[in-house]
Amino acid sequence: MVNYTDRVMTAIESAMGHEIAWPDRQERVVNSAHFTGLGFLGCIGLVDGTLVKLSQRPRDDGETCFDRKSNYSMNVQVICDQNKRVIYFFAGMPGSCHDLTCLRRSSLWERLGSAQLFDNGQYLLGDSGYIPLDRLVCSYKRTGGDMDKVDFNTCIAHARVGNEHCIGILKARWHSLKEIRMQLRNPAENAYVIRWIRCCIILHNFLIWRRDEWSEDDHPIELETEDDLGPPPKGARECNRRGLERRQAVQRICLEINRRPDGVFCR
């Protein structure tokens, strides 16, 4: 049985380069046009982390997988576009790791400034679990009662629902991602789980490409968002324009600090 499963997974993985791919320049223009309609000019994707629950404590260093929800789990970073298609993922870090830590360990982190991945003014949108960078715009951790910041966070929360839906559909289609029913006893089994997650994402994208729409009326999904959405603020586009200008000004300061020899890292 294991051999058959492995052969099927190998066949699915052969399609990875086609099914999970970073958008090319033309696709990024289309993505940006969509998010511009939500008030985020230049956004080409949404980033967030999700926890894939493990049914048992891993044998080696299992305590590192104990997450904030009191489960053993694995962190998966998911970047998707407006069509809920996954354009990048990174899996394998313990569930106790912060989303930012996981993203830093990914192959994408060193390429965030790459002209092959982003054109001028393009960026990803994330929550307050990340830090503001030239290619990553995120919500404020603390607003201090500043209504511009509050409104900006609300607008980001509404835009980021797309990523929450992407993850929700992914787990609803492939129930194994709600709980991996095996104990991780060695690196090979850890790699096997990552392969399993990869195959589920490939099939998820395959169905999206073939326009197999997921009906949330017939098949409700579980959202993991902790954002208090509320109604969008009046004049959301103008709010976002001001918010982006302020947020990007903060990012330029952070980038300048990061270039200093003292290595101070702004949070």
Residue matched to tokens 């066949």:
11
What average pLDDT does this structure show over 4-8?
89
Residues 33-84: pLDDT tens digits? 999 988 898 999 999 999 999 999 998 888 989 999 999 999 999 999 999 9
Cα→Cα distances 241→5, 39, 97, 235, Å? 50, 7, 33, 10
Strands (E), 98-239: 123-126, 136-138
- pLDDT at position 234 is 54
Output the six-digit token pair for 257.
């600090």
Which is it for strands 123-126 and 86-94: parallel, antiparallel or unpaired? unpaired
Inter-residue contact 84 to 208 (CB < 8 Å): yes
Q: How far, in Å, CA of 141 to CA of 149, rounded?
A: 10
Q: Rounded to two decimals, what is the model's pTM?
A: 0.81
- pLDDT at position 255 is 44
SS3 175: helix
Inter-residue contact 91 to 74 (CB < 8 Å): yes
Residue matched to tokens 């969509």:
34
